[in-house]
Amino acid sequence: MSTTFLPCGVYHENYAQDHAWFQTNLIKGKMILLFVLLYVVIPWTADVYWISVMNQVGYTIMGALGVQLLIGYCGQLTLGHAAFIAVGAYTSTLLILEFPWPQFLLDLGLAYPISIVVAAVVAGIWSVLFGLPSARVKGFYLILTTMAAQFITVDFLITQYISQIGGRGQAFSLPTGTIKIGPWTIDSDVKVYYMILTFVVLCIAAVANLIRSRVGRAWIAIRDNDISAEVMGINLVQYKLMAFFVAGFIGGIAGACWISNLAAISPEHFPWFWSLWLVGVILIGGVGSIHGTVFGALFMVVVMELLQMAVMPLSDAYPKLLMDFLFIKESAFGLSICLFLLFEPNGLAYRWWQIKNYFNLWPFSY
């Protein structure tokens, strides 16, 4: 079933039409407007602060997209996704800093793009490695093994061993100018914005296309009922591992992109909290919907910024409040997850669908 409402008199005659991206000219127009808004209006009008907030939103979207794929589409619960983002970020950083690049690649500015691809593949393979237990266990036990992925990768391997490479100790610093794509050096927030935005669009397009292909239908079948999926001839292990690979791949891209926004990377950027945060994002946005991921990321990042703005003026009266803001944020995050699960279990995507239908059917909403 297509989830879009079509105007009177427009009918689909085949399956391909039913799953087309732009089913009417109105939708196409809205999407073009959205493109113009994202690529032209926002970077030209918004100030640096909001651009950096948008960068965070983009990073969160890419991270949460992999979680959405695993939890929302393939039904494989994961609480360790930050590990794969970390693998991507560290692979890319190490390649840029330590790999002996030939001079012509550096001149062409291809080092960073190549490192992003390698980082994505490495993160995908790492993710498959920790997805292997999904062949034998599911539900809560799978959560435990993915948690183990987080602790083994970030808290042990990266903190203890990877961070020692090059004798830097804790953090890898990325001097400005090291990160170049082609002729452009990524050194300002707006450039990071364009880069992250492009990758977000590509990732969303890729996932949306995967979901409406044979692979995506197999994942959804596994999520809905794994036994009947197997009876229908789906190779469970193969498709589950494929889901882990794609999720890790996108996580790797997210991590590799994010290093352009950081002056230095250290294991503290990828705590267990971040894995849980990503799951919280898809729960608030809506499990099993791609635009839910976007809504969730927007909601979590922007609401937290607004909360910070609301707290700031009070800090003159209560200076302690500024220090405690981190804790308030943590509490608010926890409480909002609880409240969403209790009172809005379908997430923001469902609300959006309802609002859209109200206007589509207006004035005769029956």
Residues of the shown chain interacting with another protein in the complex, contacts defined by CB under 8 A: 71, 77, 79, 133-141, 143-145, 147-148, 151-152, 155-156, 159-160, 226-227, 230, 236, 276, 279-280, 283, 287, 324, 326-338, 341-342, 345
- Given the complex with another protein, which of 29 and 345 has the nearer CB atom? 345
Cβ distance to another protein smaller for residue 65 or 174: 65
| Conformation bin of residue 341: beta by default, left when phi > 0, alpha when psi is -120 to 50 | alpha
- Contact between 83 and 149 under an 8 Å Cβ cutoff? The reply is yes
- Closest approach, Cβ 337 to another protein, in A, equals 3
Distance CA 208, CA 205 (A): 5
Rank residues 31 and 341 by Cβ distance to another protein and give the closer one.
341
Question: Rounded CA gap, 292 and 285, in Å?
Answer: 4
Pairwise CA distance, residues 87 & 253, whole Å: 10
Shortest reach from residue 340's CB to another protein, in Å: 9
Alpha carbon of residue 85 to chain centroid: 9
Q: How far apart are CA 336 and CA 174, in angstroms?
A: 35
CA-CA distance, 313 to 328, in Å (whole number)? Answer: 15
Q: Backbone phi, then psi, for 173, in 5-degree steps?
A: -95, 145
For another protein, which is the closer residue by CB, 86 or 279? 279
Q: Whole-number minimum distance, CB 327 to another protein, in Å? A: 4
Rounded to a whole number of angstroms, the minimum distance from the CB of residue 272 to another protein is 9
Q: Given the complex with another protein, which of 20 and 328 has the nearer CB atom?
A: 328
The Cα–Cα gap between 113 and 127 comes to 21
Nearer to another protein, 65 or 283 (CB): 283
In whole angstroms, the minimum distance from the beta carbon of 249 to another protein comes to: 22
Peptide bond into 363 cis (omega under 30): yes
Q: What is the DSSP letter of 270?
A: S
What would the two tokens of residue 153 be? 């990768």
Residue placing its CB nearer to another protein in the complex, 31 or 323: 323
Q: Is the CB of 155 or the CB of 187 nearer to another protein?
A: 155
Q: How many helices (H) and strands (E) does the chain have?
A: 16, 4
How far from 145 is each of 70, 137, 255, 347, CA to CA, in Å?
A: 14, 9, 21, 27
Least distance between another protein and beta carbon 232 (Å): 15
Report in angstroms how near the CB of residue 300 gets to another protein at its nearest.
13
- Give min distance, CB of 11 to another protein, in A: 36
